Amino acid sequence: MVTKIWDLRQYDEQIEENKDMNEIKTIFENNGLIAIPTETVYGLGADARNEHAVKRIYKAKGRPSDNPLIVHIYKKEQIYAFTTNLTKEIETLMDSFWPGPISFIIPLKQGYLCKSVSGGLDSIAVRMPSHFIGRQILKYVDMPIAAPSANMSGRPSPTTFEHVYHDLNGRIEGIVNGDQSEEGLESTVLDCTQFPFRIARPGSITKSMIEEVIPGSVTTDGTLNHQKPIAPGMKYKHYAPDTPVQILSSFNTYPSSKSNWGQTAFIVPRNKEFLVPEEAMFIALCEDENDIKRANHNLYQILHQLDQNEKINHAYIYGFDLKDDTTAIMNRMMKAANQAIVRGEDL
Beta strand ranges found along 153-220 (DSSP E)? 174-177, 188-191, 198-201
pLDDT of amino acid 223: 42
Whole-angstrom Cα distance, residue 166 to residue 169?
6
Domains observed in the chain: 4-213 (3.90.870.10), 245-346 (3.40.50.11030)
Beta bridge partners of 316: 246, 266
What residues of the chain score a pLDDT lower than 50? 223-227, 234-236
pLDDT of amino acid 231: 53
Q: Torsion over CA of 103, 108, 110 and 112, rounded to 10 degrees?
A: -30
Cis peptide before 101 (omega within 30 of 0): no
Query: How many degrees, rounded to 5, is the angle at CA 321 between CA 317 and CA 323?
Result: 125
> What contacts 159, CB < 8 A, 6 or more positions away?
41, 42, 180, 181, 184, 297, 300, 301
pLDDT of amino acid 345: 87
* Residues placed in the known binding site for L-threonine: 40, 72, 127, 147, 187
Under a CB-based contact definition with an 8 Å cutoff, are residues 55 and 194 in contact? no
pLDDT of amino acid 221: 66
CA 76 to chain centre: 21
pLDDT of amino acid 8: 86
* Residues placed in the known binding site: 40, 63, 67, 72, 127, 147, 149, 157, 187, 201, 239
pLDDT of amino acid 18: 81
pLDDT of amino acid 98: 98
Of 324, 311, 322, 318, the closest CA to residue 336 belongs to 318
pLDDT of amino acid 63: 80
Beta strand ranges found along 25-168 (DSSP E)? 34-36, 43-47, 70-72, 102-107, 123-127, 145-146
* Residues placed in the known binding site for ATP: 63, 67, 149, 157, 201, 239
Under a CB-based contact definition with an 8 Å cutoff, are residues 296 and 330 in contact? no
Q: Model's pTM, two decimal places?
A: 0.92
pLDDT digits (tens, 9 = 90+) for 135-185: 999 999 999 999 999 999 888 999 999 999 999 999 999 999 998 999 999
